[in-house]
Structure 1
Amino acid sequence: MEAKENRKVKRSVKIRLKKEAWKEAKKSVSGKQGPVVASLRNFPSAPRKMRLVADMIRGQRVSVALNILKFDAKFASIILEKVLLSAIANWQLKNEDVNFEEADLYVKEIYVDSARMLKRLRTAPQGRAHRIRKRSHHLAITVDDRNRNVENDNEIQKD
């Protein structure tokens, strides 16, 4: 009997009901989401240069990290600032009911990994050639709420 009822419902209605159920499930979990990640892949800059700036903001609160990046003179800080703003936007999408200013967001992890390397030849004296390595990197920033971590630790200790 249930199978017949399922057949009678239009396909478009089923899709709409699934979407509504998904939104309800998302709302019930919102505010309790874990850390969010923003990444940048294959950026044509040496990873060594990016790591200098990344080490400055690792573990910092988001507002402090944004100020550090805004007033740093390196080109890498401009790129890192954009990726950090993207991570904040991702966190806001996951936690719609929590205000960004009230949350104590911090840079939980930041990774700068080397990516593909373009190998080029540069002419050298006496008919030789030297290999030039044009490096690129991947960047991943994880942002999390410190208050959420403290609440979860307290719940675990109570059990």
Structure 2
Amino acid sequence: MEVRAKARHIPMSARKVRRVIDQVRGMDVEAALEVLRFLPHAAARPVEKLIRSAVANAEENFGLSREDLYIAHIVADEGPGVAPGKGWRPRYGARGRYRPIRKRSSHITVVLDERTE
């Protein structure tokens, strides 16, 4: 039985989130939460929160046991950035030029499944 959970519009680039989720992909839920607890990256907090939410969904809605769950699929996709003119700031450069500072966001999707023995 697959259990899905999504976190959308996380104010962090997908590249930074992927660095964290690559370390927990395929792990048991308990081991993954233990690893995330000690990672120094800021992206570990939203990923940990999302996995805890998916585990709670599995226990409450489907009656699955926490010990049998593992991370079957986890992915971080790019979310919308802040559009120019909507809260962006210019980054001033040499010779009078500037570029917008790109405020990136990401969407994280996790799929938990029961381990069959």
**Unpaired stretches in structure 2, ≥5 consecutive residues:** none
Deviations 1:101-156 (A, max 9, x none): 4xx11001001000111243222233211232111100011111112xx6xxxxxx
Greater gyration radius: 1
Q: Equivalents in 1 of 2:98, 2:40: separation in Å? A: 35
How many residue pairs were aligned? 112
Higher RCO (CA-CA < 8 Å; seq separation 6+): 2
Aligned position for 1:108? 72
Percent identical among aligned pairs is 36
1:143 matched to 2:112: yes
Taking structure 2 as the reference length, the TM-score comes to: 0.87
Q: Equivalents in 2 of 1:100, 1:46: separation in Å? A: 30
Aligned position for 2:59? 92
RMSD: 1.5
Q: Equivalents in 2 of 1:99, 1:113: separation in Å? A: 29
**Unpaired stretches in structure 1, ≥5 consecutive residues:** 1-33, 151-159
Q: Equivalents in 2 of 1:99, 1:122: separation in Å? A: 50
Taking structure 1 as the reference length, the TM-score comes to: 0.66
Aligned position for 1:156? none
Q: Equivalents in 2 of 1:42, 1:99: separation in Å? A: 29
